A and B are shown apart, each in its own frame.
Chain A
Amino acid sequence: MKTMPQSPDLGFFQDRLPADSATARAMLYDGHVFHLEATASTRRLAAEMWAIVEAQLGESGPAREAQFRLDQPGFYSRIGHLRKRFYGTEPYHRAVFDLLQACGFQREAHRCDPMRLRVITDGGFRDPKAAPVYYPHRDTWYANPQAQITWSLALHDMGPEDSFEFYPEYFDRPVRNDSECFDYDDWVQDDWDRKIGWQNAERDRSSTYPQLRQEIEPQRVEAVKAKAGDLIIFAGAHLHRTRPHSVGRTRFSVDFRTVHREDHERGRGAPNVDNRSRGSTFADHMGPDEIGNWGRGRL
């Protein structure tokens, strides 16, 4: 396990991106995780998106408590609508590349998987059908490139209890898993909606999700604590998981993934220590020249 330098303020998390994006990517591929405090633009973006969530779920009370007011189908129907909007419409595609550029990453050099809305309900972990949401995993087990970087944007303040956590010592240590069961071409063959993520228990119950197939005893667990507009940036190869919680409110956040095209072509990226998934999501990533057209007719 590499020794990862820590930020004096944030511990495991680095709070400053190197000015040179190549260095930043190299650090990410090396396992560093960046937690960037909200800027005016990220705060504004988070606020805009949160307003849309509230418009959908907050008509008769706080949006974060809508899960208790709405029946499950109604709740997930609205969530589905939100997810499609953030994932499939032009303003949010554009926002991804603007954010990249603002962080010093050349937009033309990247392709991205757009914004996914994460909705972690209170007590959701108790539903066995929703178990995959909480599996410790690496994003790469889902046929994502080793060069993939995940950007998570907090839409509201979230504490360590309802966020997600990293297991740094397993970044470059293999764990037993069944990622070989995941074949991307099969995954999206019949339903591109699946790209958006887990939809609901009934629909995806028969699908196979890569799982950790061993007990792990991490010496170190690094949970995210973020304010609205904060950005968490990490390699998709990090072993991490969504924290199950019972804090009485739903947690909402968005994340998107980016891949530096040349790094991917040249096989640069985080080390692959245990990923056996097949296929590649890369071909379905969006380039900046595809904004407005991407996913049309499929989503």
Chain B
Amino acid sequence: MSGLASKESPGFVSQDPPAATGSPPAGHFLARYGAIARRLADRPALVLCGKVLLSHGELFDAARDLGFRLRREGATPEDVVALDMGRCPNFVIAMLGCWFAEAAFLPLDPNWPEQRRQTVLQDARPRLLLRTEGAPGELSSLAIRRASDPEPRNNTRHTPQVARAFSDDGLAYLIYTSGTTGRPKGVEVCHRGIVPMLEAQIEAFRMSAESRLLWLLSPAFDASVSDIGCSLLSGAALHIEPRARLTPGPGLPTWLATHGITHVDLPPALLPFLPTSRLPATLRTVVIGGEICAEEVIRAWSSRLRLVNVYGPTEATVCTGLTVCDASWNRALIGLPFPHNHYRVSREGGEPCSPGEMGELWIAGPQLARGYRNAPNLTERRFITHDGTRWYRTGDLVRELEGGNFEFLGRRDRQLKLRGRLIAPEEIESQLSKHPNVSRAAVIRSGQDADAVLIAFVVCKDGCDGDELTRFAEERLPHWMVPATFIQRESLPETASGKTDLTRLADMVHADRVEPAPRLDRNDEEKPDRCPAKLEATIDELWHHVLGKSGFAGSDDFFEMGGDSLAALRLSFAARSRGLALPASAIWTHPTMASQVAYLASASQRETSDHDYCEVTDLERDVRQILSTLPPPEPRFTGPNPAQNTRVLLTGATGFFGLPLLRRLLTHSSRHITVLVRGSDRDAARERICGLLGTDVAPAAARMQSRLTVIYGDLTRPKLGLSPMDWRTLGERIDTICHLGASLSGTAHYHALRETNVVGTAHAMELCRIGRPKHFFFGGSLIAVSGCRPSPETIDERTPLPKAGRIRGGYAASKWASERLVRLLDHPGRTTVVRLGLLTADPDTGVLTRSDNLAMFLKALHRLGCVPDPLPGLWTDVTPIGTAVRIATELLDRDCLEDCVHIVNRRPVSLADLAHAMRYQGVHLDSVSRNRFTQRLEDMAGRARDQHETQGFDLCLDLCQPDTRHPSAYRLFGSTGVRFSEAATCGALGHPGPLCPKVDRAYLANFLDSLGILRGNRLGTSTRHHETDAQRQRTREERHA
């Protein structure tokens, strides 16, 4: 930071910059931030990759210094300075630096195609261009360039105002959005509205100097002004992280927890892909906006934390109003306007609508932009004066509700939102029409929420190539505006008035697509070619297959190109079908095409399947490192521990195994159970648990109110995120810990699971060092041993964790590491490692789940309707979860003295048995060649409806793999070639065994029936299963009672 930031305390008021023409008015951002920077000079302002880069005092000084430099370089009030950089700390300095120079900034997205970039630069005519040189973290690397064609000094802009120094009316920024005329339009925003908007947001977001906000959005998106501004004006820390490290799957919550993020502004499309159950307790407020999000998603999120839906067009300074979402969310509310703004719902002629009547939303107030750059006519049309008030006509159709809230109903024009971006289809159509072979084009949106894509219908003169059109569009449009699919038609349907009939086009999308994604040809026996050129072509083809477009550049980011977590799974799947090991976790960490090519190329240096392995020695080192970070144990006696197992802490109580275990502990014992649940507060946590227990059990739980204590915390945080006092009180209250909390993922890398599964285990176990000695039951997994290579042929309770070799899959590695940690961490009490086999849905007890591997696999086979011939010799463990829960409870009842026990079905089931059982029950399964099976699988996988289906098809991929020694990361067939023992468990329970039921034809028939596979060739629905769950559980409980 040398050269830009000084350690001196900021002194905006006391040390006027020599070249300054005055001080900013009190309402100016710099005046407000100057006060903050003075008051909180040493508090972190910018945090990059977890390291504090600049304090508020340093940031203020750095920006002021840059302002001097910009002035020296010729920047004057009203000049535009282009910021040619992505989301990085320098952007924040540069943005403030421009304001110090009384200039306006113009964000240039580095991912824009050159043609759009040139169009924007020609329109904006910036005087200077700021560019980051070197690594993003190096603050000294800001370079100032003169723009190639600066605007003449005495220009004649359309804007009449001549701004005085640090005026509220001075131009603050210029942002380009999609334009209906075919050209992006530049919105000129003044300073006046920025601070009132930010202050209203800070209050609504409940931000303070203690907050930590993660900035996720592109700086070319005006919501970034809000993220940056709210952070700085509240004295909070703005966290910046390279995109590759922010995995919108399960890894993001872990990252948020690790960094103690309290606030984040997320694209609504991302919400469905983030598991709410794993949101860290630190996360207080999530901000969404820009597009409609599914109601159930909103309800789920708002029950966990403060979810704020913001609304506002770029033309009215980012955000003009907001609403706090709650569990009753059932419509797209945009909230009330901020007190300084005014909304008016107007009819076509400008008359005000009655409450409840649909009309166009007009906005007035200090946040209105000056207008559009170099587009006075458009400005005149959209910014109107009516009854003496200046209004912005948003084009949004809304209606006012009782109580003053407003509901969003759609658009007057054809503009649409896609992944948070406002897009004018006309701009795309205009660009496509410039192709010499295209005579007409129409663009519509297809699909909902995260699955939405743009589809272009084109009428061509001599026939068109979709790839050519994609390339043509990419050269002119930002990536989010490039259609995913091109459909060629001889003519486009028209309405009576001769306009393109968009409704009929939308119907046609559902009927057929002219250019489906190309089929992936594959020869099973062929080894993939791993030379970089071939790999690049292959990756391009795979991306095309998954994203529906082609012609990617090496620097293209899979997620920027429209990929999401489901698409990442599909890509991983498609790669695997080509013999390339590109796990989804690697896609998150290697999002660009070039990095994926490099990843695969480097994998070629190792064995084919090496990519997904962790060295045991590395894990050992990591475990010891985690142990070294723990505080030393308090002096405790190590005498005998006549455990009572009466006050139990249960972690993972909302999980697949934890929930039925909690249910049984509550209904079949008199124990006091404390459950650790994530939630925004204690009430929310309790509500969540009671909701999960189900309506049929909740009364029972209510009867035993005094025996169920719900605390909210976070495994990944030291002391489980509890206050020191709560932590100690908990440690002194309980005598037993059942630690089942873990992230279960078949695709995540070890590092994505480490915080929850390994560090979380250490945190839970630390509790054993407080108060009386405790019995620590650790929910381990047999995969910790069987997943190792080489793997022993027989695994019994005495089989130690392998000390050498490699272990496949992040989940298996995390279970190895957590069991190892449990065995190394000493405490005065006793530890029992409970290694669980592959837990499966249990039709006998009614415990069912959609995410059970066996269920997903059988459903996938059912959808495929075929199996390869010959069937590979694969075996799976089937440990019904109801049985597992019963065994675990009995182990608790009997105060198990064993160090390690297994809960596993020692009689595995072969794939042939499964296929036979399905056929016997009337499920149609053709025997086909492996190639045909693979093709069918690829077809179906491309049409997977959700993540569970994708995982099911991925499990099926094991059937095409010639190498059965390396089954899928989900490990359905982990019993292949391994024999599991449950001798110690039988000994502890005084039972000869086997403890699990034999999985025979009748059992499988029941299982298939419970999945709905046997009923009318129809897949079971989760709704029906939940009902069955409750009914069966009640029957079962009554029988036991």
Contact = CB atoms under 8 A, between A and B. Distances in A.
Contacts of B644: 180, 278
A272 B636 contact: yes
Given A180-B772, A266-B724, A267-B728, A278 B639 contact: no
A184 to B, nearest CB: 8
Interface string B712-747: 000000000000110011001111000000000000
B728 A264 contact: yes
26 contacts: A143-B732, A174-B637, A179-B772, A180-B641, A180-B735, A180-B772, A183-B647, A185-B647, A264-B725, A265-B724, A265-B725, A266-B724, A267-B634, A267-B728, A272-B635, A272-B636, A272-B637, A275-B637, A275-B772, A277-B772, A279-B732, A279-B733, A280-B733, A280-B771, A282-B725, A282-B729
A143 B731 CA distance: 12
Given A180-B772, A267-B770, A278 B728 contact: no
A270 B460 CA distance: 87
A174 B724 contact: no
Contact of A274 (B637, B646, B706, B728): B637
A58 interface: no
- The CB with the most chain A CB atoms within 10 A, among B639, B646, B647, B734, is that of B639
B637 to A, nearest CB: 5
- The CB with the most chain B CB atoms within 10 A, among A145, A274, A275, A279, is that of A279
Nearest to B635: A271
A283 interface: yes
A174 B733 contact: no
A279 B706 CA distance: 14
A156 interface: no
Interface in B748-780: 770-773
A261 B728 CA distance: 11
A279 B644 CA distance: 13
B635 to A, nearest CB: 5
A183 B736 CA distance: 14
A85 interface: no
A103 interface: no
Interface string A169-188: 00000100001100101000
Contacts of A267: 634, 728, 770
A261 B723 CA distance: 13
B992 interface: no
A41 B183 CA distance: 88
B637 A185 contact: no
A249 interface: no
A272 B639 CA distance: 11
Interface string A33-62: 000000000000000000000000000000
B990 interface: no
Given A143-B732, A282-B729, 17 more contacts: A145-B732, A174-B637, A179-B772, A180-B772, A183-B646, A185-B647, A189-B706, A261-B725, A264-B725, A265-B728, A272-B637, A276-B641, A278-B647, A278-B771, A278-B772, A279-B647, A282-B732
A67 B771 CA distance: 40
B726 to A, nearest CB: 9
Contacts of B728: 264-265, 267, 280, 282
A131 interface: no
Contacts of A185: 647, 672, 733
B436 interface: no
A274 B641 CA distance: 10
A273 interface: yes
Contacts of B733: 185, 278-280
Contacts of B643: 180
Interface string B619-655: 0000000000000001111010111101100000000
Nearest to A268: B634
A174 B641 CA distance: 13
Contacts of B725: 261, 264-265, 282
- A-B pairs, 8 with minimum CB distance: A265-B724, A280-B732, A267-B634, A276-B772, A273-B637, A279-B733, A271-B635, A280-B729
A283 B639 CA distance: 27
Interface in A233-282: 261, 264-267, 271-280, 282
A174 B734 contact: no
Interface residues of A, number: 25
Nearest to B730: A280
Interface string A115-128: 00000000000000
Interface string B112-141: 000000000000000000000000000000
Nearest to B724: A265
A277 B774 CA distance: 11
A180 B733 CA distance: 12
Interface residues of B, number: 25
A280 B773 CA distance: 14
B637 A278 contact: no
Interface string B882-899: 000000000000000000
B729 A278 contact: no
Contact of A278 (B634, B706, B734): B734
A264 B706 CA distance: 26
Contacts of B639: 174, 273-274
B643 to A, nearest CB: 8
A267 B637 CA distance: 14
A17 B770 CA distance: 30
A192 B443 CA distance: 73
A280 B643 CA distance: 17
Contacts of A179: 772
Contacts of A278: 644, 646-647, 732-735, 771-772
B613 to A, nearest CB: 40
A180 B642 contact: yes
Contacts of B635: 271-272
A177 to B, nearest CB: 10
B711 to A, nearest CB: 13
B723 to A, nearest CB: 8
B79 to A, nearest CB: 57
Interface in B690-708: 706
B866 to A, nearest CB: 59
Contacts of A143: 732
Contacts of A264: 725, 728
Nearest to A275: B772
Contacts of A261: 725
Nearest to B636: A272
A167 B637 CA distance: 19
Contacts of A272: 635-637
Contact of A276 (B646, B724, B734, B773): B773
B770 to A, nearest CB: 7
A273 B772 CA distance: 10
Contacts of B706: 189
B153 to A, nearest CB: 66
A156 to B, nearest CB: 36
A174 B773 CA distance: 14
A266 B725 CA distance: 9
Contacts of B637: 174, 271-275
Nearest to A189: B706
A41 B646 CA distance: 47
A267 B728 CA distance: 8
B997 to A, nearest CB: 37
Nearest to B735: A278
Interface string B173-202: 000000000000000000000000000000
A261 B646 CA distance: 28
A87 to B, nearest CB: 22
Contacts of A180: 641-644, 735, 772
- The CB with the most chain A CB atoms within 10 A, among B642, B646, B672, B771, is that of B771
A280 B644 CA distance: 17
Contacts of A282: 725, 728-729, 732
A264 B770 CA distance: 11
B889 to A, nearest CB: 20
Interface string A183-223: 10100010000000000000000000000000000000000
